[in-house]
């Protein structure tokens, strides 16, 4: 399984040239194998960015988010009690952004590779990351 950070899904949909070649290949492979995933907080982050005017998908936000999930056969992984606790107690997951902590904990819990351009997440030694 491959878990996508929020910005990865946004880049994939709106400006794929911002993704690394390795990230694009992993997204394509993950979608084809039906092994591409995101944390459910990613959907909230995308909705928030649209509401704040930080991104403009050019369509209704609900449709944009649904299209992201459906077009890539994305598994939306829930924040379980284990993931919630892991995001707060694992010493390596000390990222200042709570959403990024949850995304990292989701990848760690599922033993998945995390696709991210976030240098702080890529430095977490217990995470398998790709960029």
**Top-confidence residue, 89 or 113:** 113
pTM for the structure as a whole: 0.92
d(CA 62, CA 26): 25
For residue 90, the model assigns a pLDDT of 84
What value does the mean pLDDT of the chain take?
Answer: 95
Q: Identify the domain containing residue 109 by its residue range.
A: 2-130
Q: Residue 102 is part of a domain; what is its CATH number? A: 3.40.50.1010
Average pLDDT over residues 12-21: 96
38-93 per-position pLDDT tens digit:
999 999 999 999 999 999 999 999 999 999 999 999 999 999 999 999 999 887 77
Place 95 in a pLDDT band, splitting at 50, 70 and 90.
low
Average pLDDT over residues 18-36: 96
Q: Is the pLDDT of residue 130 over 70?
A: yes
114-123 per-position pLDDT tens digit:
999 999 999 8
3-state SS of 7-75 is HHHHHHHHCHHHCCHHHHHHHHHHHHCCCEEEEHHHHHHHHHHHHCCCCCCCCCHHHHHHHHHHHCCCE
Indicate the number of domains in the chain: 1
For residue 72, the model assigns a pLDDT of 94
């Amino acid at each position: 399984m491959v878990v996508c950070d929020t910005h990865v899904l946004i880049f994939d949909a709106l400006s794929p040239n911002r993704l690394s070649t390795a990230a694009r290949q992993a997204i394509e492979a993950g979608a084809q194998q039906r092994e591409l995933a995101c944390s459910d907080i990613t959907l909230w982050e995308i909705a928030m960015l649209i509401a704040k005017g930080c991104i403009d998908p050019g369509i209704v936000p609900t449709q944009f988010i649904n299209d992201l999930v459906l077009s890539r056969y994305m598994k939306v992984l829930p924040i379980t009690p284990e993931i919630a606790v892991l995001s707060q107690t694992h010493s390596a997951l000390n990222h200042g952004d709570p959403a990024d902590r949850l995304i990292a904990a989701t990848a760690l819990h599922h033993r998945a590779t995390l696709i991210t351009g976030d240098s702080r997440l890529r430095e977490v030694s217990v995470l398998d990351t790709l960029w």
